[in-house]
Amino acid sequence: MLGLVPGRGVALESGSGHAGSLQGLLAGCQQACRRVASVRVDVAPRRRLEPDARREQILSVAVRLFGERGWADVSTTDVARAAGVARGLINHYFGTKKDLYLAVIRVMLTVPPDTIGRLPDGDLTFRAAAIVDWFIDVVSQHSRSWLAAISAGGMSGDPDVDRVIDEAIDVAADSVLVAVGYPAPDAALHAMARSYVGLACSTAREWLERGVLTRPQVHNLLSATLLTMVRKVFPAAG
């Protein structure tokens, strides 16, 4: 499921059954992603930051602004002003407005590489529930920015945007497969996992964007579907 994103300050629902075990995972995600999504922006233009920190500060501001307003209503001047930097720094670190937007989509949708390694130990049922919990927490904590990224608001159909989203789906599919014990899948299993990622994203949108589903319903659907795929569909595909 797409959603790297930065699990800053993510709060688990009490009674989820996994809250204690997931604290370590979410803490790791918070630490790995905080550099982008939870950077506190100092708008004083004279403050000096190291290049990496400055780039991440600009990206953090861009994530927020594009999530709030969408592609069409945000300019690089807006981002520079909100970040307290000269507009030339946007071009220096990212290039064009489109390049900046692609970076925003990438950071919002790509699963961090160490996420699966931080999942709590347990049987298949537990790990399936854990990765679904992680996904739900991330997308709900950053719902506006995540929804803007997954829908590519204002840029749908652009080949570069489609490529970034497709790459994020690949990474998410691989992460799901590793989490459930398939670290070296064949093409068919990978395609099935990509389909599952698509289901996860569509289900999250039904909850966050349309308000049709509840969080427990989303969790039950995604967990049960993943378990069915692993126990019945994947073996039959071999």
Residue 154 has a pLDDT of: 64
The span from the CA of 215 to the CA of 13, in Å, is 10
Residue 4 has a pLDDT of: 53
Give the CA angle between residues 138, 118, 182 to the nearest 5°: 95
pLDDT at 46 > cutoff 70: no
| Closest of 214, 180, 215 to residue 196, by C-alpha | 180
Per residue in 83-130, pLDDT tens?
Answer: 999 999 999 999 999 999 999 999 999 988 888 888 888 999 999 999
Q: How confident is the model at residue 32 (pLDDT cuts 50, 70, 90)?
A: very low
**DSSP code per residue over the chain:** -------TT--PPTTSS-HHHHHHHHHHHHHHHHHHHSPPP---TT----HHHHHHHHHHHHHHHHHHH-STT--HHHHHHHHTS-HHHHHHHT-SHHHHHHHHHHHHHSPPTTTGGGSPP--HHHHHHHHHHHHHHHHHHTHHHHHHHHTTTTTTT-HHHHHHHHHHHHHHHHHHHHHTT-SS--HHHHHHHHHHHHHHHHHHHHHHTS--S-HHHHHHHHHHHHHHIIIIIHHHH-
Per residue in 129-140, pLDDT tens?
Answer: 999 999 999 999
Higher pLDDT, 197 or 46: 197
Q: How many CB atoms lie within 10 A of CB 123?
A: 7
- Residue 183 burial by CB count (10 A; 0-12/13-18/19+): exposed, middle or buried? exposed
> Residue 166 corresponds to which tokens in the numbers above?
């497709």
Backbone angles phi, psi at 100, to 5 degrees: -65, -40
Q: What are the structural domains, with CATH classification, of the chain?
A: 36-107 (1.10.357.10), 112-237 (no CATH)
Per residue in 178-234, pLDDT tens?
Answer: 999 999 899 999 999 999 999 999 999 999 999 999 999 999 999 999 999 999 999
